[in-house]
Amino acid sequence: MSFKNSIKIILCFITIVSCKNRVDGSPEKATSNKGLKRIIEAEELLKIQRNENLVIVDFRKKEEYKINHIKGALNIWRTDIEDATYAYGGMMAKKEHIESLFSKLGIRDDDTIVVYDNKGSSDAARLWWLLKYYGFESVQLLNGGFDAWKNADGDTSHQMTNIEPSMFAFPHNENLNIWISYDELLGLLNSTNNIIVLDTRSSEEFTGKRRKKGAVKAGRIPKSIHIDWANAIDYHGTKKFKTKAELEVIYGKMNASKNDTIIVYCHTGVRSAHTTFVLKEILGYKNVRNYDGSWTEWSQFNTLPFEKDSITIVNK
């Protein structure tokens, strides 16, 4: 056999093995995250769930996770990503805390994370926002959450997922333009800058009729306009995001250009993270900043201004 023929046989063998690995369901390294869609459907996830660098995160309470979850999913909950050193709850954890958590869970720097909940992605969006703030962009939200996965006949389990620890590290630069502190917000309110302050809570919270647990008083931040975060999804049905055209109409009420500065808040920065996702990732607004402490933090300080339209009759 000639040398040239030997080379041809070897190359042919390599090609056959390569093709076999692609069709037999073996894990395969996913392609670049450039242009990654931020919303993924259950049917799409079914096709890629075995990718080597894909991580599925169940962002629900541990009790719910133990009952049933997407097979292979890791469990993270709000309290896992909060900074417990504050006198009030809900503030995002420090970078080092999240790096340690992700390392223990075996999440790697080059993974793509698909997050789901059972509340219309409001909780899942909080994790998306926190990771985006720390510079990690490879995150997708499962449209319709756990129910959508079950409706697509995806595999579920009540078993804990095996974990192999990793060494996770965020990029060096934080994405400060999606976050705002209460003192910076106060300065903007007192300035002549043209900003939009968007309250994403319920109408009862906005008017001051309801005070939720954690807040010292009821009311809203001055100059706020109100659009309930839940308007962005099929809240009483599939809990999936509404179409872009529908969302343009809903948020067109802000009378904002795509370049205007929009400050969003809720009770603890969770529902407003969902609205941040809608405005930035779906509708293309450039300058959307989520107030992390939101009304829970703002209400703590008697020196900060507030407004209310109603006598508070609901405290819960």
Angstrom distance (rounded) from CA 245 to CA 258: 15
Instruction: Return contacts of 213-217, CB within 8 angstroms, 24+ apart.
Output: 213/316, 214/88, 214/89, 214/90, 214/267, 214/268, 214/296, 215/267, 215/295, 215/296, 215/299, 216/299, 216/300, 217/299, 217/306, 217/312
Which residue among 125, 157, 189 closes a domain?
157
The verdict on residue 27 lying in a domain is no
Looking at the structure of the chain, the number of domains it has is 2
Tell me which amino acid residue 212 is: K
Answer with the one of 157, 185, 208 that is the final residue of a domain. Answer: 157
* Containing structural domain, residue 96: 33-157
Residue 69 lies in a domain: yes
Q: Name 73's Cβ contacts closer than 8 Å, sequence gap at least 6.
A: 56, 57, 58, 65, 116, 161
In a domain, 6, yes or no: no
The per-residue pLDDT for range 77-87, each reduced to its tens digit, is: 999 999 999 99
What stretches of 118-215 adopt beta strand conformation (E)? Answer: 139-142, 156-157, 179-180, 195-199, 210-211
In a domain, 10, yes or no: no
Inter-residue contact 91 to 83 (CB < 8 Å): yes
> 271 by DSSP, 3-state: which?
helix
* 204 shares a domain with 309: yes
CATH number for 275 = 3.40.250.10
The C-alpha atoms of residue 228 and residue 200 are separated, in whole angstroms, by 5
Q: List the structure tokens of 312.
A: 């508070």
Q: Both 112 and 191 in a single domain?
A: no
Query: How many whole angstroms separate alpha carbon 270 and alpha carbon 123?
Result: 6
**Residue 151 and residue 214 in one domain:** no
What's the CA gap between 96 and 70, in Å, rounded? 28
CA proximity to 223, closest of 198, 204, 203:
198
Same domain, 118 and 47: yes
Q: How many CB atoms lie within 10 A of CB 235?
A: 14
Per-residue tokens: 260: 């205007």
Same-domain pairing of 223 and 294: yes
CB 106 within 8 A of CB 147: no
Task: Tell me: do 60 and 182 sit in the same domain.
Answer: no
Tokens of 49: 């769930």
Rounded-to-integer distance, Cα 165 and Cα 104, Å: 5
pLDDT tens for the chain, residues 1 to 316:
444 444 444 444 433 333 333 333 333 333 344 557 999 999 999 999 999 999 999 999 999 999 999 999 999 999 999 999 999 999 999 999 999 999 999 999 999 999 999 999 999 999 999 999 999 999 999 999 999 999 999 999 999 999 999 999 999 888 999 999 999 999 999 998 889 999 999 999 999 999 999 999 999 999 999 999 999 999 999 999 999 999 999 999 999 999 999 999 999 999 999 999 999 999 999 999 999 999 999 999 999 999 999 888 777 6
In this structure, the answer to whether residues 75 and 194 fall within a common structural domain is no
